[in-house]
């Protein structure tokens, strides 16, 4: 089984580079052959992953070393090739993919699990979702997709200089909480209930794994935390 790593050096404000340097000795000690690619711009991971899928015929694993954006590029580049499996070494800010699928949360644990699966030829199957827009006529997503309000918050958070600053302390995910609350406060007619619902759902998404499951279950959180927010 061929093994490739797609490394995003910009993930988590550059901390992904140090994570990869910690993993390299472990790979060399195991004596497993692999190839590593470093992305230099947005979209390059997708291009490289697609080229790997097109040029390989044997079972292949492409592991994203980065955050959810890196996983997204690998999925969109190689997700349609039946002989390609996609892995993830979490090295990003949110790492929603590994939380959503309950995968290994630390980079070393993820690598050990990945190498074990490569040796055994073990692959888990999951469905991919599809979406289309004016900018992306045929896109794929692994664990979640957002549009409108959700996408606007993600864009503001990713452009914020505070995300990088918070990442230095391992708190980069909280920038999404801030922008959700800040944006809804500007739209007064949403009311306290929705503000608290979204804020609590975001916090639980950071610490538990999925905000979607909370949309119908956080009424009591809204009542209790409305005092805190107002």
Tell which wins on pLDDT, 188 or 64.
64
pTM for the model: 0.71
Cβ 108 vs Cβ 97: under 8 Å: no
**Average confidence (pLDDT) over 29-58:** 94
Angle between helices 174-186 and 149-159 (to 10 degrees): 120
Q: Indicate if the pLDDT at residue 156 is higher than 90.
A: no
Give the containing element (helix H, strand E) for 65.
Answer: strand 60-66
**What are the DSSP calls for 159-190, one per residue?**
H-HHHHHHHTTT-TTHHHHHHHHHHHHHSGGG
Strongest mean pLDDT among 12-16, 23-27, 52-56, 174-178 = 52-56
Q: What pLDDT band is residue 164 in, cutting at 50, 70 and 90?
A: low
3-state DSSP assignment of residue 98: helix
Summarised one tens digit per residue, pLDDT across range 178-214 is 767 676 666 554 444 444 444 444 444 544 444 433 3
Summarised one tens digit per residue, pLDDT across range 114-132 is 999 888 888 888 888 888 8
Neighbours of 61 (CB within 10 A): 21
Q: Which residues contact 86 (CB under 8 A, 6 or more apart)?
A: 61, 62, 63, 64, 71, 74, 75, 78, 79, 142
């Amino acid at each position: 089984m061929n093994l490739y790593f797609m490394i995003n050096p910009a993930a988590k404000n550059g901390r992904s580079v140090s994570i990869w340097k910690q993993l390299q000795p472990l790979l060399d000690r195991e004596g497993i052959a692999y190839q590593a690619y470093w992305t230099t711009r947005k979209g390059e991971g997708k291009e490289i992953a697609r080229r790997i899928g097109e040029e390989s015929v044997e079972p292949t694993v492409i592991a994203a070393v980065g955050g959810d954006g890196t996983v997204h590029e690998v999925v969109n580049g190689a997700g349609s090739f039946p002989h390609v499996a996609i892995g993830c070494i979490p090295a990003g800010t949110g790492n929603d993919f590994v939380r959503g699928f309950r995968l290994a949360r630390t980079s070393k644990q993820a690598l050990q699990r990945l190498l074990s699966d490569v040796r055994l030829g073990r692959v888990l199957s999951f469905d991919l979702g599809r979406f289309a827009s004016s900018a992306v006529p045929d896109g794929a997503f692994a664990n979640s997709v957002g549009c409108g309000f959700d996408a606007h918050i993600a864009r503001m958070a990713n452009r914020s200089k505070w995300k990088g600053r918070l990442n230095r302390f391992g708190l980069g995910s909280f920038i999404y909480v801030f922008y959700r609350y800040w944006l809804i406060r500007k739209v007064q007619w949403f009311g306290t209930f929705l503000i608290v619902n979204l804020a609590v759902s975001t916090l639980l998404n950071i610490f538990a794994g999925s905000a979607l499951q909370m949309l119908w279950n956080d009424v009591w959180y809204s009542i209790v935390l409305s005092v805190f927010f107002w």
